[in-house]
Each structure stands twice: as structure tokens, then as C-alpha cells.
Amino acid sequence: MSGKPLKDPLDLLDIASVLTDEEREIQATVARFLADRVRPHIGEWFENAHFARELAPELGKLGVLGMHLEGYGCAGTNAVSYGLACLELEAADSGFRSFVSVQGSLSMFSIWKWGSEEQKQEWLPRLAAGEAIGCFGLTEPDFGSNPSGMRTRAVRDGDDWILNGSKMWITNGGIADVATVWAQTEDGVRGFLVPRGTPGFTTQDIKQKMSLRASITSELYFDNVRLPDSARLPHAQGLRGPLSCLNEARFGILFGAVGAGRDSLQAAIEYADSRVQFDKPISAFQLTQKKLADMTVSLGGAALLAVHLGRLKDQHRIRPEQISVGKLNNVREAIAIARECRTILGANGVSLEYSPLRHANNLESVLTYEGTGEMHTLVVGQAITGQAAFR
């Protein structure tokens, strides 16, 4: 075997051979859309901390938003297709994948799974079309990994609810038309749909992020916000409500990370083939090849793990601790790949003209949100020992 370098390192294991035509077609369509509409600008958007909101309706038209949900204008694809779309989105930029994850798996899924028929009719078609934007507020300034201690509280006042508290690090917060907000009540954690503009509800975007710069992250404040009981998600009670949504989003992330890794590796392979030092392309040196080979091996494993978990999900038998294995492994591998790829690019690696450092920086957030690496380690640890070591 010799000659042409592989354009896509995932081709080495022919990962595409385990996908159906339809899954490949959906993946290719997302890739093409991103190549046309996102890739030419993403470096600039990252640098200027700009979220291209105008792309939301276009993503809606494709069917990306809430794509794995049935009905209410959603495309209703299988889980593997949803994963592959996340893979391509994150290969472009984790910020875009974050937008799609929050819109589809946190905001829309929370309504789809736990909402009333009226709430679904009101919000899902608009969110699916990208005409409205949603966010999901669970994390608070003092409660991240341990949301059970949350301080945001809703109390009854006649037929209404009065909501007080704040949420922190909320993706899409500042631009959301509707926020799914989780709050303590006298009968446990409950979810509420808070439309933008509700008196007492304000947001402030978080500035100076060094990660996910092409995505908006905000604080949400609730100051005596009065909500009718029809704003409550009637079927969610306890932390199971938000955690079920997080499982959906994490599923997308474990595919997405593969995309960020793949894009970094593609950039590094291409660069190594064209960069000549000591009269040879640097890809011809054993040390470079070891890096590229190791990364190709770990990326291939991550991709196969993702597809495997996707198949389990499509058979409705995936368990949360399996998703933890995927999120833990794939994000860890992806960030290691992105950083290693950066070294192959030398000084050019620190420029936004190349993707690896942007991916590495983005993946810092991905490592932390949706359950930190440590939390997923403890979940897996509990699964294999039977002992919880969280407290």
C-alpha cells in the first residue's frame, strides 16, 4: 500500500460501511451545507465571538433542529443520523453543534418529552423551523455538577407560580425566545417554560470566553417572575426531568467530538504532507507518523463507539452509563487529538486559519458541560463497582 494519503482518516476503517444509505445521505447533506455556509466564515466568527443566528432558519429547513423527534414539524430521523449530523456540525465548530444540541435535545426535547399538548403545539413547530430559539437552564453559579442543590425556586401564588433565582452558563440564553428553567418547588424539581419578555426575566451574555466563541452563553435572572400554571412542564417531576434531556444532548456530543477530532486530524495530515523541513514533507518523519497513526487509531475507535451507541439507542436499549462511556472517551480523545494536531502545525497551529487549536479550545467546554469528565468517570465507576463515589 502506498501513494495517495487518505482524505478522511475515518476511511481507513471504512466506518461508512456500517451506515445506511440514508444515514450517509443525511451526513453528506449537513457536511455540504456547512462547507457552503459555515466553514468559510467560522474563523472570523470565532474571533469576533459572533453567533450566526441567521443560519437557524436554514438549519430548520434542512431538518436539523430536533431532527430525531417525531411530529410537530420535526424530521423524525433515527438516532444514528442525529449523531452523524452532530459529528459534521462539530467538525465545523463545536459552537454550532452546541446551538443545535441545546435547541433540539435540551429545549425541544424537554417540551416534547415532558410538555403538555398545548406547549408542544405552541413551541415545537417554531423551534423546529428555527424561527424561535430555545435554551435550557439547569446550572447555577453555585451548583454545577451537583444540580440537586439548586437555589432557583418556584412557589405557588394562587393559580400562578412566582419564580426567583438565577442560572449561569446557559447556551443560547441571550437570544432565546423560550427558556426551559428548572426550579425547586415544594414537591421537588419542576420545569417551567419562560418566554422571552416575561416581566422580571432578564439575561446577560457572558463575555471573554476563550472557548465556544461562536456560540452565545448567558446568565438568566428571575426576579419575582409570575408564571401561569400552564407554563409548568406537567409531566416532569424531580431531577429525572432535566437528566433525561441531558442524556439526549450527551448522545449528540459523543458523536460531535469525533467530528472535531476528525477535522483536526484532516488539517494536520494535509499540513504534514505539504510542509517541508529538512528536505522532506514532515509527514515522512517517523515521529509525525506516530502521532498521525495513534490519532487515527483513537479516532476510529471513538467513531465505532459512537455508531455502536447509536445502534443501541435506535433499539431503545441504551443506558445512561453507556452514554457516559461514550462522552468520557470521545471528548477525552478528541481534545487530545486536537492538541496533538496543533503541534504538527507548528506556529501555524496557533493561527485561526487552521482549525485544531480552535477545536481544542472549544472542546474545553465540551469536556466540562453535560457532565464533566470526572462526573462521567464516577458514573462508570459506580456502574462497574456498584458503589457511588460522588459524595
Ligand X SMILES: Cc1cc2nc3c(=O)[nH]c(=O)nc-3n(C[C@H](O)[C@H](O)[C@H](O)COP(=O)(O)OP(=O)(O)OC[C@H]3O[C@@H](n4cnc5c(N)ncnc54)[C@H](O)[C@@H]3O)c2cc1C
Contacting residues toward another protein, per CB under 8 A:
21-22, 25-26, 29, 32-33, 61-64, 67, 75-77, 81
Q: Among 94, 171, 322, 324, which residue interacts with ligand X (rule: CB under 6 A)? A: 171
Q: Are the CB atoms for 232 and 180 separated by under 8 Å?
A: no
Provide, rounded to whole angstroms, the least separation between the CB of residue 324 and ligand X: 13
81's contact among another protein, ligand X, none, with CB below 5 to 8 A by partner kind, is another protein
User: Could you tell which of another protein, ligand X, none binds residue 319, using a CB distance below 5 to 8 A set by kind?
Assistant: none
First to last CA, the chain: 53
Label each residue of the chain as H, E or C. CCCCCCCCHHHHHCHHHHCCHHHHHHHHHHHHHHHHHCCCCHHHHHHCCCCCCCHHHHHHHHCCCCCCCCCCCCCCCCHHHHHHHHHHHHHHCHHHHHHHHHHHHHHHHHHHHHCCHHHHHHHHHHHHHCCCCEEEECCECCECCCHHHCCCEEEEECCEEEEEEEEEEEECHHHCCEEEEEEEECCEEEEEEEECCCCCEEEEECCCCCCCCCCCEEEEEEEEEEEEHHHECCCCCCCHHHHHHHHHHHHHHHHHHHHHHHHHHHHHHHHHHHCEECCEEHHHCHHHHHHHHHHHHHHHHHHHHHHHHHHHHHCCCCCHHHHHHHHHHHHHHHHHHHHHHHHHCHHHHHCCCCCHHHHHHHHHHHHHCCCCHHHHHHHHHHHHHCCCCCC
CB nearer to another protein: pick between 20 and 145: 20
Nearer to another protein, 34 or 363 (CB): 34
- In this structure, are strands 201-205 and 217-228 parallel, antiparallel, or unpaired? antiparallel
Residue 62 interacting entry, from ligand X, another protein, none, C-beta within 5 to 8 Å by type: another protein
State in angstroms the smallest separation of the CB of 76 from another protein.
8
Rule CB under 6 A: is residue 145 a binding residue for ligand X?
A: yes
List the single partner that 277 binds among ligand X, another protein, none, CB under 5 to 8 Å by kind: none
CB closer to another protein out of 10 and 189:
10
Q: Which does 70 bind (CB under 5 to 8 A by kind): ligand X, another protein, none?
A: none
C-beta separation of 19 from 80 below 8 A: yes
Choose one: 50-58, 136-144, 306-314, 349-357; the region binding ligand X (CB under 6 A): 136-144
Least distance between ligand X and beta carbon 20 (Å): 32
Is 170 one of the binding residues for ligand X (CB under 6 A)?
yes
* Contact mark string toward ligand X, 207..236, x via CB under 6 A: -----x----x-------------------
Residue 341: CB partners within 8 Å, gap ≥ 6? 264, 265, 267, 268, 295, 349, 356
Say which amino acid occupies 231.
A
Verify whether residue 340 is a known catalytic residue.
no
- 75: partner contacted, choices another protein, ligand X, none (Cβ within 5-8 A by kind): another protein
For ligand X, the closer of residues 63 and 242 by Cβ is 242
Of the residues 47, 70, 370, 374, which is catalytic? 370
Check: CB of residue 264 under 8 Å from CB of residue 212. no
What are the cell numbers at 86? Answer: 452532530
Q: How far is the CB of 134 from ligand X (least distance, A)?
A: 10
Residue 30 CB, nearest approach to another protein (Å) = 9
From candidates 51, 72, 136, 251, binder to ligand X by CB under 6 A: 136
Beta bridge partners of 201: 222
Which residues, numbered 351-380, are part of the site for ligand X (CB under 6 A)?
365, 368-369, 372, 374-375
Q: Does 110 bind ligand X (CB under 6 A)?
A: no
- Which C-beta is closer to ligand X: that of 130 or that of 137? 137
**Closest CB to another protein among 27 and 362?**
27
Write down the least CB distance from residue 26 to another protein, Å: 6
In terms of CB distance, is 291 or 358 closer to ligand X?
Answer: 358
Which residues are annotated as catalytic?
370
- Interacting residues toward ligand X by CB under 6 A: 102, 136-139, 144-145, 169-171, 212, 217, 365, 368-369, 372, 374-375, 390
